[in-house]
Amino acid sequence: MALSSQHGCLSMNPRLLENQCKVDAIMPFGNTHNQLKMNYTAEQEYPDLSKHNNHMAKVLTPEMYANLRDKQTPSGFTLDDVIQTGVDNPGHPFIMTVGCVAGDEETYEVFKDLLDPVIEDRHGGYKPTDKHKTDLNPDNLQGGDDLDPNYVLSSRVRTGRSIRGFCLPPHCSRGERRGIEGLSVEALGALDGDLKGKYYALKDMTEEEQQQLIDDHFLFDKPVSPLLLASGMARDWPDARGIWHNDNKTFLVWVNEEDHLRVISMQKGGNMKEVFNRFCTGLTKIEELFKEKGHEFMWNEHLGYVLTCPSNLGTGLRGGVHVKLPNVSKHEKFGEILKRLRLQKRGTGGVDTAAVGGVFDISNADRLGFSEVELVQMVVDGVKLLVDMEKCLEAGQSIDDLMPEQK
Amino acid sequence: MASMFTRVLSGRNTAVIMAGLGAGTLVSSYIMTQESGVTAGEKIKLYPPSADYPDLRKHNNCMASALTPAIYGQLRDKLTPNNWSLDQCIQTGVDNPGHPFIKTVGMVAGDEESYEVFAEIFNPVIKDRHNGYDPTTMKHPTDLDSSKITSGMFDENYVLSSRVRTGRSIRGLSLPPACTRAERREVERVTVQALSGLKDDLAGKYYSLTEMTEQEQQQLIDDHFLFDKPVSPLLTCAGMARDWPDARGIWHNNEKTFLIWINEEDHTRVISMEKGGNMKRVFERFCRGLKEVERLIQERGWEFMWNEHLGYILTCPSNLGTGLRAGVHVRLPLLSKDSRFNKILDNLRLQKRGTGGVDTAAVGDTFDISNLDRLGKSEVELVQCVVDGVNYLIDCEKKLEKGQDITIPSPVAQFRK
Nearest to A33 among B171, B172, B174 (CB): B174
Closest C-alpha among B268, B273, B266 to residue B178: B266
Closest C-alpha among A407, A390, A250 to residue A340: A407
Chain A, window 376-395: residues with a beta carbon less than 8 angstroms from a chain B beta carbon: none
pLDDT in tens, B316-352: 999 999 999 999 999 999 999 999 999 999 999 999 9
β-pair partners for B273: B163
Cross-chain residue pair B246–A84, CB shorter than 8 Å: no
pLDDT of residue A221: 84
Pairing of strands B350-353, B325-331: unpaired
Tell me the C-alpha distance between A151 and A146, whole Å: 11
Q: Does A89 touch chain B (CB under 8 A)?
A: no
What Cα–Cα distance (Å) separates residue B102 from each residue in A238, A334, B129, B358?
21, 54, 12, 12
Q: pLDDT-based confidence at B20, cuts 50/70/90?
A: very low
- Give the mean model confidence (pLDDT) for residues B72-84: 93
The backbone torsions φ and ψ at residue A200, rounded to the nearest 5 degrees and listed phi first, read: -120, 105
Cross-chain residue pair A25–B171, CB shorter than 8 Å: no
Q: Does the annotation list A158 as a binding residue?
A: yes
Better-scored residue on pLDDT, B416 or A153: A153
Tell me the C-alpha distance between B10 and B18, whole Å: 11
pLDDT of residue B34: 44
Closest C-alpha among A123, A51, A119 to residue A87: A51
B284 in helix, strand or coil? helix
Contact by Cβ (8 Å): B191, B260: yes
CA torsion angle for A250, A254, A255, A261 (degrees, to 10)? -90
pLDDT in tens, B366-377: 999 999 999 999
H-run or E-run covering A156 = strand A152-161
What Cα–Cα distance (Å) separates residue B81 from each residue in A108, A299, B305?
30, 37, 16
Q: Does A229 touch chain B (CB under 8 A)?
A: yes
Nearest to B34 among A7, A165, A179 (CB): A165
Q: Is the pLDDT of residue B25 over 70?
A: no
Tell me the C-alpha distance between A339 and A348, whole Å: 19
Q: How far is CA A400 from the centre of its chain?
A: 36
Q: Does the annotation list A398 as a binding residue?
A: no
Q: How far is CA B99 from the centre of its chain?
A: 18
Closest C-alpha among A193, A188, B16 to residue A201: A188
Q: What angle do CA A273, A276, A280 make, to 5 degrees?
A: 140
Q: Is the dihedral of CA A339, A342, A348, A349 positive or negative?
A: positive
Tell me the C-alpha distance between B372 and A232, whole Å: 34
Q: Does A181 touch chain B (CB under 8 A)?
A: no
pLDDT of residue A214: 86
H-run or E-run covering A159 = strand A152-161
Q: Is the pLDDT of residue B356 over 60?
A: yes
A304 in helix, strand or coil? strand
Amino acid, res. B399:
K
Contact by Cβ (8 Å): A128, A266: no
Q: Which residues of B are annotated as a binding site for ATP?
A: 161-165, 224, 269, 325-329, 353-358
Tell me the C-alpha distance between A222 and A216, whole Å: 18
Amino acid, res. A386:
L
Give this prediction's pTM: 0.88
Tell me the C-alpha distance between B127 and A181, whole Å: 37
pLDDT of residue B115: 98
Q: Does A201 touch chain B (CB under 8 A)?
A: no
Chain B, window 333-352: residues with a beta carbon less than 8 angstroms from a chain A beta carbon: none
Helices B279-299, B379-401: crossing angle, 10 deg rounding: 160
What Cα–Cα distance (Å) separates residue A165 from each residue in B7, B38, B54, B71, B139?
21, 7, 22, 29, 49
Q: pLDDT-based confidence at B10, cuts 50/70/90?
A: very low
Q: Is the pLDDT of residue B27 over 90?
A: no
Nearest to B31 among A10, A29, A294 (CB): A294
Q: Nearest-CA residue of chain B relative to A182?
A: B24
- Give the mean model confidence (pLDDT) for residues B286-310: 97
pLDDT of residue B54: 97
Q: Is the dihedral of CA A322, A324, A328, A332 positive or negative?
A: positive
Pairing of strands B268-275, B306-307: unpaired
Q: Is the pLDDT of residue B355 over 70?
A: yes
What Cα–Cα distance (Å) separates residue B410 from each residue in B289, B348, B392?
35, 8, 12
Pairing of strands A299-300, B159-168: unpaired
Q: For residue B48, is the peptide bond before it cis, meaning its omega torsion is within 30 degrees of 0?
A: no
pLDDT in tens, B209-251: 999 999 999 999 888 888 888 888 999 999 999 999 999 999 9
Rg (C-alpha) for chain A, rounded Å, is 23
Tell me the C-alpha distance between A328 and A360, whole Å: 11
Chain A, window 270-309: residues with a beta carbon less than 8 angstroms from a chain B beta carbon: 293-295
Cross-chain residue pair B83–A40, CB shorter than 8 Å: no
Closest C-alpha among B9, B53, B1 to residue B31: B1
As to burial, measured by CB atoms within 10 angstroms (0-12 exposed, 13-18 middle, 19+ buried), residue B64 is: buried
Chain A, window 249-268: residues with a beta carbon less than 8 angstroms from a chain B beta carbon: none
Strands (E), A233-384: 242-246, 251-255, 261-268, 299-300, 304-305, 318-324, 343-346, 359-364
The low-confidence residues of chain A, meaning pLDDT below 50, are 1-22
pLDDT of residue B408: 96
H-run or E-run covering A177 = helix A174-189
- Number of separate helices (H) and strands (E) present in chain B: 16, 10
Tell me the C-alpha distance between A171 and A141, whole Å: 37
Nearest to A26 among B24, B27, B40 (CB): B40
pLDDT of residue B252: 97
pLDDT of residue A143: 95
Closest C-alpha among A96, A238, A132 to residue A181: A238
Q: Does the annotation list A349 as a binding residue?
A: yes
Q: Is the pLDDT of residue B172 over 90?
A: yes
Q: pLDDT-based confidence at B42, cuts 50/70/90?
A: confident
CA distance A395 to chain B (A): 53
Other Cβ atoms less than 10 A from the Cβ of A222: the count is: 14
pLDDT in tens, B189-212: 999 999 999 999 999 999 999 999
Contact by Cβ (8 Å): B282, B162: yes
For residue A204, give every residue at least 6 positions away whose Cβ sits within 8 Å of its Cβ, in sequence order, or none: none
Q: Nearest-CA residue of chain B relative to A165?
A: B31
Other Cβ atoms less than 10 A from the Cβ of A104: the count is: 29
Other Cβ atoms less than 10 A from the Cβ of A15: the count is: 7
B263-285 as b/e: b if 16+ CB within 10 A: bbbbbbbbbbbbeebbbbbbbbb
Better-scored residue on pLDDT, A143 or B29: A143
Q: What angle do CA B285, B291, B297 make, to 5 degrees?
A: 130
Contacts of B302 in chain A (CB under 8 A): 5, 8
Pairing of strands A318-324, A242-246: unpaired
How many CA atoms lie less than 13 Å away from B248 in the CB half-sphere? 20
Q: What angle do CA A234, A240, A243 make, to 5 degrees?
A: 95
pLDDT of residue A246: 96
